[in-house]
Structure 1
Amino acid sequence: MTATETHPAGPPDGATEGLHADAVRALDGWRPAEAGQDELRRSYLRHLAEQPEGLFRSCLPAHITASAVVVDPAAGRVLLTLHPKVGRWLQMGGHCEPGDPGLAAAALREATEESGIPGLALLATDGAPAPVRLDRHQVRCTGKDRPESTHLDVQYVAVAPPGARELISEESLDLRWFGYDRLPELTDHSVRALVARARELTG
């Protein structure tokens, strides 16, 4: 880094400890069936072991993020957002914030903010919200003129209450429900895999 380059400000002192410990617990206690997913899980844990502030945007070149795919199982549909920077339909999600008490709480906050739907419920295992997939990808989240960062995304499933009505936020170009079998063309493999897993888990 040159003298004229700066990174985004990190979280305030003391903001990381609880969130960091929660992320380690969540990933350490999750056992995916797929070998590739378990390899990612282990790499995320190594990242957290090496980076005390590894959940925040200021941690470069990689940081943990949290997301949740919002589904309506009774109607067989999923809510996706057209991301203005990426130009693709994605699940709800984003960066952790210092006020988030845990990784699942960060995912739920993002899903609620971006969907406009109150009363979302994350799928749980043994009474606690649990990840369903992981995805590692490159993105420019610190500015268009800055190098790409690596997002180590922890993905959850959020079930919408009956009769839920979405409300688009300023973070979306568009917000729409799609049938499980009618996903838009501008979705990548990660989104399709996450929707398939959500469909499997929610019936």
Structure 2
Amino acid sequence: MTATETGTPETGTPETAGALHADAVRALGDWRPAEPEQERLRLDYLRHLADQPDGLYRSCLPAHITASAAVVDPVAGRVLLTLHPKVGRWLQMGGHCEPGDRDLASAALREATEESGIPDLALLTRDGVPVPVKLDRHQVRCTGKDRPENTHLDVQYIAVAPPGARELISEESLDLRWFDFDGLPELTDQSVRDLVARARALTG
């Protein structure tokens, strides 16, 4: 059998890959952002998925869709950020889709749970369905420092932590720390600040 028939460790079986792809098309197709730039990104993401059956996996180059989530404790007015070892900045939790992910929201929740160490996170929903709050396209070198840059097409969610949740750092972080909504660290880019602002507005 060929790799296409059996799947690969990165993309799983054709059935799981197809289900994840279909969910991504549905999630992005149903979401309607208010800002023109976000709408342009949404349409770009959908074109990417239309052109790339494997467009959600890191093996798809030069671009692939990723999933992330801002972990927030609304009661305490704080957000949990990770100091990323490759980027050198404080970021939300997130990363690549994996074969076991049944949908984009599950991928974002898995990454948030793994990187925060908090087991009882809940994604923000609309009518009972987890929905993205923001899209962000950025350049990275996820295939290695000596490899060309590739593009992450990130789909961003909000994960609400229980009041007083205790984090547990993973090997994927240089540091893991809660920050007040009004006290984000200097090494945080505008994309993260915008995501945190949206999380604050939607959970406050």
* Fold conserved between structures, TM > 0.5: yes
Q: 1:24-74 deviations in whole A, cap 9, x for unaligned? A: 000000001111001100000000000000000000000000000000001
Tell me the residue number matched to 1:84: 85
1:139-154 alignment runs, 5 A limit = 139-154=140-155
Letter of the 1:149 partner, please give it: N
Tell me the residue number matched to 1:27: 28
Q: How far apart, in 2, do the equivalents of 1:13 and 1:178 lie?
A: 40
Tell me the residue number matched to 1:56: 57
Q: 1:100-157 deviations in whole A, cap 9, x for unaligned? A: 0000000000000000001100000111000000000000000111101100000000
Tell me the residue number matched to 1:12: 12
Q: How far apart, in 2, do the equivalents of 1:162 and 1:12 lie?
A: 36
Q: How far apart, in 1, do the equivalents of 2:100 and 2:150 lie?
A: 22
Superposition deviation, residue 171 in structure 1: 0.1
Tell me the residue number matched to 1:114: 115
TM-score by length of 1: 0.95
2:190 is aligned with 1:185:
no
Gap change, CA 1:10 and 1:75, over 3 Å in 2? closer
Letter of the 1:50 partner, please give it: D
Tell me the residue number matched to 2:177: 176
Letter of the 1:93 partner, please give it: G
Overall identity of the aligned pairs, in % = 79
In structure 1, the gaps of 5 or more residues are 1-7
Letter of the 1:159 partner, please give it: V
Q: Is the 8 A contact 1:9 1:58 kept in 2?
A: no
Tell me the residue number matched to 1:167: 168
Q: 1:5-35 deviations in whole A, cap 9, x for unaligned? A: xxx9742331310000000000000001111
TM-score by length of 2: 0.94
The two structures, once aligned, show a CA RMSD in angstroms of 1.1
Q: How far apart, in 1, do the equivalents of 2:141 and 2:51 lie?
A: 22
Q: How many residues align?
A: 196
SS class of match (1:65): strand
In structure 2, the gaps of 5 or more residues are 1-7
Q: 1:67-95 deviations in whole A, cap 9, x for unaligned? A: 00000001000000000000000000000
